[in-house]
Amino acid sequence: MTTESPRPPLPPFNAETAVQKVRMAEDAWNTHDPHKVSLAYTPDCRWRNRSEFIEGREQIVDFLSRKWAKELDYRLIKELWAFHDNRIAVRFAYEWHDDSGNWFRSYGNENWEFSAAGYMQLRIASINDLPIDASERKFDWPLGRRPDDFPSLSELGL
């Protein structure tokens, strides 16, 4: 349990606040800043990311540092799938390339559970990687936050 300042929006979520929480997460991950991203989670947060189990902010920073050293030019879009009380489910896709220039689009789903103070305390992610040609890329905004007028996953047909 965290004694840190509340991180709005707070549960229980409604449609508007759930969408806001999803966009906040997307924006943070698109910074590629592991320390900044880790602050959205409780100090004792638990993750399952693919087959890796992670506990706490220090392990989150280590994991994300490794991830973004491998997944270059990473661009992410998240979309709300469902919400209830202190839980949110999202679907997402991100594009990246490895150090040999091979491009991938990774698709996945996440289940999130939040503390009363609005920090994520549980994240369960299932992800699959699809090799793509550079010509098949759809996420072509400049690195950083996805522009507000850039299409959503649904609008992109993903």
Q: Measured between alpha carbons, how far is 86 from 118 in angstroms, rounded to an integer?
A: 9
User: Mind listing the pLDDT tens digit for each residue in 30-72?
Assistant: 999 999 999 999 999 999 999 999 999 999 999 999 999 999 9
Bridge partners (DSSP) listed for residue 120 = 41, 114
Long-range contacts of 59-62 (CB under 8 A, 24+ apart): 60/34, 61/34, 61/35, 62/34
User: Mind listing the pLDDT tens digit for each residue in 88-105?
Assistant: 999 999 999 999 999 999
What domains are defined for the chain?
A: 16-136 (3.10.450.50)
Q: Could you tell me the pLDDT band of residue 152, with boundaries at 50, 70 and 90?
A: very high
